[in-house]
Structure 1
């Protein structure tokens, strides 16, 4: 396919990875972002082997590995009994595979530095609001204040789960907000307090989940960081802030005494940022000269740790489709076929697993603790769980 004029809305991992890959393939790329200066949003995240393979394809894997924290195990206990209710070990996959926990700033910086060098143009202070087709089939992006950009051969929507462009999809998505979200913050890592290669969690039924994730460094020369998270209903956030940190600290240390030194570094409720979750999947992640990637195309809770990985897999599939197809319509249809099964499988599994760890149910956590957890120690089941977390179940050979 001849080089295209491509607009990418959103400078998250999906948008940046797409810009880099498409610019390298010879396409003319313009990125649009609403912030005054390009910057990451959020705390730490898990890169799984499937997503790391895409970063290796982009030539960025080693740079990110030098900053991130290798994760060998996902481990969780019931807070009162101490019973092990989560134990996923990457070693069951063989070949030295593991997860990689990274600060979003590290992932952003590694991607953005390469995007700047690729020749892709970056437009800041542009909040994309709509697509206008009045001038013909080629889409024009409309921003706040009525500013217009384009026309383009292709628009890629990487604006996330609240994108205003999703009505451009060939079929609408059913959106469902999830009651539970999480409070997140990044803190300096305390050496010796926790295992530096383990994502560790504690649970009280399914209504409380506490997590400690070592995420490595934000940039070369930085000190090691930790992401700390606390499960919370979005509707209870204002009440949580109003009660002050004292009662909350007491609750956390009662459930997980080892966190006392860590959370002592939190002295302002605003250090904890609320992430609200929702679930949607576009039946077709494209429209007329529009492609949707990452959370614009599909979003769910982060229980399986797949958000950034699914976005990167979308980028790999879309770029491959554009390279292989003879025209744009064919490429977009091929992209959708490549990603359909994998996306639906992981959306389904995430929907199934989430209530066991984030819900008001009293029955599901009992089922989790007394049946699912023991079964996970059976070798075949342990390997299956590790493969689910790694992100490679149901992944087509060409993605």
Structure 2
């Protein structure tokens, strides 16, 4: 039995996989580069796929108490108010809304469960390599040899960057567009608490307001606010000043006034940079790679954390079923291959319709895609796509119960 396992990274993927392993009688040790584990990133949507993983861990009620159900994704073109995106989760064969949550809420839920299982967390270790199970950090310290190393350290992983990439784009590529984001108090009755709302001007301006539940230590509801921006334009955005930017946002979407009033310092807005890559194989000698370290993309389809949770479950299920480690690693890679390939391809195709300097693709989006979306059964197809259910993510793996009996 593969028992002594190093998990690199204390994000959602690392915490989830460590929790699953501990509950299956294995001995995971988490290595974290920060002095203390902490959440990083904006609020996001836990899709039905991610919620299904939390169901198996017995954590859905805990995270649901911190989140906000989101049953609709709704977008309008700024100039004429034309509806260009309208996705409703109740169109699914088995309707289940997504959950808008803050990363701090998911982090705390998983972290508390990991600590309750007695999992060891070693902080201040910036892992540099994993050679046949032997782990070392950026200071050159030998951290020991493990039966298996699971790399969950994110898109900038030092371990994963030594592995080859495949797919439509070949090597790793930074995307031209990113986003500014911040968390504010919920703006009130002018916004639907059950919908992610967006406004677009062509594809070079995109504004989003996501209901994101509450912080673990605060009962007040929040919103996560997004503004599309090229990282190369960030310095100019800073030099133009906050007032000039607010004026532009108000012009495009007047209802954001209460959100903008809560933003009094440009430092409150964090620049998120995005990249696109898929490892040829998310495995190596005594190595498995999960989450953004194995595959990253634009957040347009809202799949990032959900894919990471699916990776964690597939890997642990493969370890449970397979007769040896090599077979388990191959089974894990095979189980995730088609689902990941589909969503990486969809993201690559659809992102330019929402983040682009041109005029042709946004015209197609505004004038043609909206009409296509109103065709019979299109609503179900769209809902299945954004929910992560367009292809069965369990692919050939049985479902063990990770929750305590």
- TM-score > 0.5 by shorter chain: yes
The answer to whether 1:325 aligns with 2:319 is no
Once the two structures are TM-superposed, the CA of residue 118 in structure 1 deviates from its matched residue by: 1.0
Give the SS at the match of 1:29. Answer: strand
Aligned to 1:351: 348
- How many residue pairs were aligned? 393
Question: Does the Cα contact within 8 Å between 2:203 and 2:357 map onto a contact in 1?
Answer: yes
Indicate which of 250, 253, 269 corresponds to 2:250: 253
Identify the residue that residue 68 of structure 1 maps to in structure 2.
67
- Deviation, 1:11, is 0.7
Distance 2:228 2:164 in 1: 35
Q: Does 1:367 align with 2:364?
A: yes
1:209-224 counterparts in 2 under 5 A? 209-219=206-216, 221-224=218-221
Distance 1:251 1:156 in 2: 45
Structural mapping, 1:98-113, within 5 Å: 98-113=97-112
Question: 1-side partners of 2:4 and 2:94: how far apart?
Answer: 40
Superposition pairs of residues 137-148 of structure 1, within 5 angstroms? 137=132, 139-148=133-142
Tell me which of 142, 150, 164 is aligned to 1:156.
150
Q: Alpha-carbon deviation of 1:167? A: 4.5
Structure 1 residue 309, shift from structure 2 partner: 0.5
Aligned counterparts, 1:5-20, within 5 A: 5-20=4-19
Q: Partner of 2:348: helix, strand, or coil? A: helix
Counterparts of 2:301 and 2:396, CA distance in 1: 22
Structure 2 CA distance for partners of 1:82 and 1:122, relative to 1, 3 Å: same
Q: Are residues 372 and 171 of structure 1, via their aligned partners in 2, closer, same or farther at CA, if it must alter by over 3 Å?
A: closer
**Once the two structures are superposed, what CA deviation does each residue of 1:113-157 show, in whole Å capped at 9, x if it has no partner?**
0000112110011111122x4xxx4x2211132222120010000
Contact 1:55/1:61 (CA < 8 Å) preserved in 2? Answer: yes
Q: Distance in 1 between matches of 2:146 and 2:219?
A: 40
CA distance in 2 between counterparts of 1:348 and 1:260 reads 36
CA distance in 2, matches of 1:288, 1:360: 43
1:239 and 2:236 correspond: yes
Equivalence for 2:46: 47
Q: Answer whether contact 1:198 1:213 (CA < 8 A) is retained.
A: yes
* Structure 1 outlier segments of 4+, above 4 Å: 170-173
Q: Deviations over 1:41-92 (max 9, x none)?
A: 0120111001100011111111111110100100000001100000000010
What do residues 173-225 of structure 1 show as CA deviations (whole Å, max 9, x unaligned)? 61011100000000011221210000000000001100000101111542111
Query: CA 1:96 to 1:371, structure 2 compared with 1: closer, same or farther past 3 Å?
Result: same
Structure 2 gap ranges (5+): 400-405
Q: What whole-Å deviation, never above 9, does each CA across 1:208-255 have from its counterpart, x for those lacking one?
A: 100000101111542111100000001001110111101100000000
Structure 2 residue aligned with 1:303? 300
Q: C-alpha displacement at 1:110, in angstroms?
A: 0.2
Cα displacement (A) at 1:18 = 0.3
8 A Cα contact 1:170 1:285, kept in partner? no
- Label 1:261 to 1:171 Cα distance change in 2 as closer, same or farther (>3 A): closer
User: For the Cα contact (< 8 Å) 2:2–2:147, is it kept in 1?
Assistant: no
Q: How does 1:253-272 map onto structure 2 within 5 Å? A: 253-272=250-269
For normalisation by structure 1, the TM-score amounts to 0.96
2:30: which partner in 1?
A: 31
Specify the alignment match of 2:332 in structure 1.
Answer: 335
SS of residue matched to 1:6: strand
Residues 170 and 288 of structure 1 are in contact (CA less than 8 Å); yes or no, is this contact kept in structure 2?
no
Which one is further off, 219-228 or 108-117?
Answer: 219-228
1:36 CA drift (Å): 1.2
Instruction: Tell me, yes or no, if the aligned pair for 2:173 and 2:277 is still in contact at 8 Å.
Output: yes
TM-fit CA distance, 1:28? 0.8
SS for the counterpart of 1:150 is strand
Q: Does 1:389 align with 2:403?
A: no
Q: Structure 1, unaligned stretches of length 5 or more?
A: none
* CA distance in 1: counterparts of 2:308 and 2:384, whole angstroms: 18
Contact 1:206–1:365 (Cα < 8 Å) also in 2? yes
Shift of 1:257: 0.3
Q: Distance in 2 between matches of 1:63 and 1:99?
A: 15
Query: Displacement of 1:332 after TM fit?
Result: 0.3
Superposed CA RMSD in Å reads: 1.3
1:41 and 1:325 mapped to 2: Cα distance? Answer: 34
The residue aligned with 2:403 is: none
TM-score, normalised to structure 2, is 0.95
**Which secondary structure does the structure 1 equivalent of 2:300 belong to?**
coil
Quote how far apart the aligned CAs of 1:3 are.
4.2
